[in-house]
Amino acid sequence: MAKKLAGSMKLQVPAGQANPSPPVGPALGQRGINIMEFCKAFNAKTQELEPGAPCPTIITYYQDKSFTMDIKTPPASYFLKKAAKLKSAANNPGRETVGSVTVAQVKEIAEAKMKDLNANDIDAAMQIILGSARSMGIEVKG
């Protein structure tokens, strides 16, 4: 018999750094999910990613207190800021430019995020990343 679905939730957890402290612990605890089991499983699954990279995670939990998790790739903004060596994006994107990335870096980011993007090929994925860069005030140099 299939498990009875109790609900799902989204969390953004740093790769390899899930621990029972807030915000992870209370969010899982109030839904009856075993916090330590989640932390161990999450840290094991994200150990090959860069430590501290924010990982959007969708947690589906069931009435028998079990859960499944779907870990996505870090956001495009994280990759763009890292490639442009920035701390934060522009305050007035469109009017000011805070950094620049190359087309090769955009392609690399698009390839890394391809499985989570709604794109059929690498060119469409690059357009999505270019849009993110533009909205952050990051210039793309040919």
Burial 1-32 (b: 16+ CB within 10 A, else e): eeeeebeeeebebbbbbbeeeeebbebbeeee
CATH class held by domain 76-141: mainly alpha
Q: Which CATH number describes the domain made up of 5-71? A: 3.30.1550.10
Show Cβ contacts of residue 37 under 8 Å, excluding neighbours closer than 6 positions.
none
**Residue ranges of the domains in the chain?**
5-71, 76-141
pLDDT digits (tens, 9 = 90+) for 14-38: 887 878 877 788 888 888 888 888 8
Q: Tell me the torsion sign for CA atoms 111, 17, 84, 93.
A: positive
pLDDT digits (tens, 9 = 90+) for 46-65: 888 778 888 888 888 888 87
pLDDT digits (tens, 9 = 90+) for 124-142: 888 888 888 888 778 878 7
pLDDT digits (tens, 9 = 90+) for 83-116: 877 777 667 766 777 777 788 888 888 888 788 8
Q: Tell me the torsion sign for CA atoms 57, 25, 15, 4.
A: negative
Confidence tier at 41 by pLDDT (50, 70, 90):
confident
Query: Contact 84/138 with Cβ under 8 angstroms?
Result: yes
